[in-house]
Chains A and B, each alone.
Chain A
Amino acid sequence: DTEVTQTPKHLVMGMTNKKSLKCEQHMGHRAMYWYKQKAKKPPELMFVYSYEKLSINESVPSRFSPECPNSSLLNLHLHALQPEDSALYLCASSQESTLSGNTIYFGEGSWLTVV
Chain B
Amino acid sequence: GNSVTQMEGPVTLSEEAFLTINCTYTATGYPSLFWYVQYPGEGLQLLLKATKADDKGSNKGFEATYRKETTSFHLEKGSVQVSDSAVYFCALSDRGGNNRLAFGKGNQVVVIP
Contacts and interface: CB of A to CB of B under 8 A. Distances in A.
A106 B36 contact: yes
Interface in A27-77: 31, 40-43, 45, 48, 50, 55-56
A102 B104 contact: no
What bracket does the count of chain B residues touching chain A fall in?
Answer: 20 to 34
Contacts of B34: 103
A92 to B, nearest CB: 8
A56 B45 contact: no
A106 B45 contact: yes
Contacts of A21: none
What bracket does the count of chain A residues touching chain B fall in?
Answer: 20 to 34
A40 B88 CA distance: 11
A104 to B, nearest CB: 6
B44 A43 contact: yes
B44 A45 contact: no
Nearest to A91: B43
B94 A105 contact: no
Nearest to B34: A103
24 contacts: A40-B87, A40-B106, A40-B108, A41-B106, A42-B91, A42-B103, A42-B104, A43-B103, A45-B101, A48-B98, A50-B98, A88-B43, A90-B43, A96-B99, A98-B97, A98-B98, A100-B31, A100-B32, A101-B51, A102-B93, A102-B99, A103-B46, A106-B43, A106-B44
Interface of A: 2, 6, 31, 40-43, 45, 48, 50, 55-56, 88, 90, 94, 96-109
Given A42-B89, A99-B99, 4 more contacts: A2-B46, A45-B100, A94-B99, A102-B99
Interface of B: 30-32, 34, 36, 42-46, 49, 51, 87, 89, 91, 93-95, 97-101, 103-106, 108
